[in-house]
């Protein structure tokens, strides 16, 4: 039986608060000198300095594959939280992972499992990979009892984090028994292996990668004893000496097990990747399997979540992730001598040659299918940067094929059609500057903006597989077309209510016409109520749109009912109130439209939409928690 695919090895060190600024930067430069060693093709190395040193550390480590981390974060991106550190800012400063929930913070600052989970969710939301510290406080002398007690204490810590982060994002669990931190010896190897195996089982249902590292007085020789259960080590003060760090790194890098595909990208654009000859895990396994270079959405904004686009998706195409899965983990990876290509060597070189022969050069003119076949079967392959980006760095997308490259974001198209129709109507209903009536002057806009643009936007959402916005946009497009047709004489909707030998326009004042139109508006109000409930899982601004539309349609229906009763003054007041609610609706709509358009051109101003999906947990997330429990 072939070995089970496992993620790449991972070794990291936290500097805590032991170094001053010059000492920290000196240490970072020392770590940089280790990057040229042979291990960097086989393991991921990360270092976590203090906050003040982050930006300069990022500059120093820029030309390397060494990953920079932060020691903590806050659960909100922005706000009046004096002294806290935003995960958004950490990402912008160059951090790629963030340590959360260390035992020292749980003890000294009262951090709870809920606090840690919220921070982990915020980190994942901003493209950072949470490195969550877990571990039991009590050390039992009886081995069998110790394992059971540890698992029981660690389980709620793990479950709360896994429930807080998207299922397809990478999470690193640092198992650090509290009683082993700072001790003379690490925890018993059998204990570590047994506990970490159970931790891995807890995360077995995830589609994203979960790596487990051990921390707690780890040093030379530790990894060899516990490698059956962990993917690496998380080091403390012992590794504050560069020589000691180098000793520890060598051990995981020389250990051979089968890994699934891992692809990382340094901030300079140098690509580091290695593969295995095991059956590849289609979910990916590298530190950045869902965060290559930057966190992306289905459309334009690099750091956006699904706020700006109601149906944004984040999964990477499985065929791309599986590229190169037949090569061994130990195959060498290097830049070619020339500046225009990357080389991936799967040759027969010993001691890790895998029997592949031949040499092939691939450039951007090669189609993806041919390129993937060549990568799987050839020996030494040189790949142009353009083709590498095409194969490995394409934006995450659940939609099959190249739809993202073919279709833009349809949401703003539908929004502008909605706004160009409703905003003038709202001002007409309020009677601004002598306007009045049912908005017949804007009938053309109802047809070609409200109707045509909203249906086109809805069809675009349908193509991209986004059910909720597809239904919303198409239903409102139908509303505007129906409303426009009702106002047209050729449709004879009100003329049918006029008496014989009398102008058809008199039907506008008839009881039958006004009551019938009121029923239609009541149904639109009920439809918006359904949308209001569903929008609780989108963002605050979209929620406010339906929160104001529900009373607007209700008031407008009341206006027509009162007109049918002959109470013209009250009908006018109700119509004016409906116009006011519609006006607020439009202000929210213009805000969302501006946010999306700014993101589409990568404008530096980021308008918050306040994501509600993390506040109101989805049914799938709850089922995931129930299943894991």
How is residue 451 annotated by DSSP? I
Nearest residue to 411 via CA among 554, 528, 304 = 304
Residues 6+ apart with CB under 8 A from 593: 412, 415, 416, 419
The catalytic position among 102, 191, 291, 299 is 102
Angle at 332 between CA 329 and CA 336, to 5 degrees: 140
Residue 417 structure tokens? 């059609």
176 part of the active site: yes
Spatial separation of the C-alpha atoms in residues 560 and 571, rounded to whole Å? 7
Calpha distance 489→487 (Å, rounded): 7
Closest among 432, 570, 447 to 514, alpha carbons compared: 570
Q: Are 283 and 7 in contact (CB under 8 A)?
A: no
- Please check whether residue 455 is in contact with residue 496, taking contact to mean a CB–CB distance below 8 angstroms: no
The tokens of 252 are what? 């995981």
DSSP class of residue 99 equals E
Strand duo 271-274 + 262-265: pairing: antiparallel
Active-site residue (options: 176, 330, 461, 621): 176
For the record, the structure tokens of 463 come out as 């193509």
Query: In DSSP terms, which residues pair with 308 in a beta bridge?
Result: none
102 included as an active-site residue: yes
CA–CA separation, 222 vs 544, rounded Å?
A: 55
Instruction: Say how far apart CA 415 and CA 453 lie, in whole Å.
Output: 8
**Strand duo 342-345 + 333-335: pairing:** antiparallel
Catalytic residue numbers? 102, 176
């Amino acid at each position: 039986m072939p070995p089970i695919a496992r993620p790449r090895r991972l070794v990291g060190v936290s500097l805590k608060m032991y170094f001053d600024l010059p000492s920290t930067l000196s240490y970072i430069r020392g770590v940089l000198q280790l990057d040229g060693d042979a291990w960097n093709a086989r393991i991921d190395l990360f270092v976590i300095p203090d906050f003040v040193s982050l930006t300069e550390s990022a500059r120093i480590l820029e030309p390397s594959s060494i990953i920079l981390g932060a020691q903590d974060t806050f659960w909100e991106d922005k706000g009046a939280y004096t002294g806290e550190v935003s995960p958004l800012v950490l990402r912008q400063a160059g951090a790629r992972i963030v340590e959360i929930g260390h035992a020292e913070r749980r003890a000294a600052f009262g951090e709870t499992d809920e606090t840690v989970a919220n921070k982990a969710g915020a980190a994942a939301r901003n493209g950072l990979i949470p490195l969550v510290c877990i571990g039991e406080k009590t050390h039992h002398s009886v081995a069998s009892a110790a394992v059971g007690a540890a698992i029981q204490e660690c389980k709620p810590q793990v479950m709360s984090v896994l429930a807080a982060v998207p299922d397809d994002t990478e999470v690193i669990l640092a198992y650090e028994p509290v009683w082993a931190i700072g001790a003379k010896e690490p925890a018993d190897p059998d204990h570590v292996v047994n506990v970490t195996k159970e931790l891995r089982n807890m995360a077995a249902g995830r589609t994203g990668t979960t790596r487990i590292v051990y921390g707690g007085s780890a040093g030379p020789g530790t990894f060899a004893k516990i490698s059956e259960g962990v993917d690496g080590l998380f080091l403390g003060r012992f590794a504050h000496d560069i020589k000691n760090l180098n000793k520890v790194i060598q051990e995981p890098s020389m250990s051979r097990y089968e890994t699934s595909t891992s692809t990382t990208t340094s901030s300079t654009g140098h690509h580091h990747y290695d593969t295995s000859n095991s059956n590849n895990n289609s979910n990916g396994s590298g530190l950045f399997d869902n965060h290559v270079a930057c966190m992306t959405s289905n459309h334009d904004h690099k750091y956006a979540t699904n706020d700006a686009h109601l149906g944004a998706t984040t999964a990477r195409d499985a065929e791309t992730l599986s590229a190169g899965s037949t090569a061994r983990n130990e195959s060498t990876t290097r830049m070619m001598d020339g500046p225009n290509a990357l080389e991936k060597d799967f040759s027969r070189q010993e001691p890790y040659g895998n029997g592949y022969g031949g040499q092939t050069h691939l450039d951007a003119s090669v189609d993806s299918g041919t390129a993937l076949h060549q990568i799987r079967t050839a020996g030494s392959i040189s790949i142009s940067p353009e083709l590498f980006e095409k194969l490995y760095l394409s934006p995450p997308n659940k939609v099959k094929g190249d739809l993202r490259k073919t279709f833009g974001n349809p949401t703003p198209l539908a929004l502008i059609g909605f706004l160009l129709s409703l905003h003038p109507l709202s001002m007409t209903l309020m009677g601004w500057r002598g306007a009045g009536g049912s908005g017949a002057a804007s009938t053309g806009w109802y047809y070609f903006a409200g109707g045509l643009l909203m249906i086109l936007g809805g069809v675009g959402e349908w193509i991209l597989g986004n059910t909720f916005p597809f239904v919303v946009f198409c239903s409102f497009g139908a509303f505007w077309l129906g409303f426009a047709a009702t106002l047209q004489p050729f449709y004879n909707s009100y003329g049918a209510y006029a008496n014989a030998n009398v102008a058809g326009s008199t039907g506008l004042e008839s009881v039958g016409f006004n009551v019938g139109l009121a029923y239609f508006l009541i149904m639109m109000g009920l439809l918006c109520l359904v949308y209001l409930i569903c929008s609780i899982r989108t963002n605050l601004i979209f929620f406010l749109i339906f929160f104001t539309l529900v009373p607007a349609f209700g008031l407008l229906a009341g206006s027509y009912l009162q007109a049918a009763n002959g109470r013209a003054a009250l009908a006018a007041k109700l119509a004016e109130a409906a116009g006011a609610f519609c006006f607020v609706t439009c202000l929210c709509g213009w805000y969302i439209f501006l946010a999306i358009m700014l993101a589409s051109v990568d404008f530096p101003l980021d308008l918050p939409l306040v994501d509600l999906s993390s506040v109101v947990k989805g049914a799938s997330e709850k089922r995931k928690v129930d299943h894991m429990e």
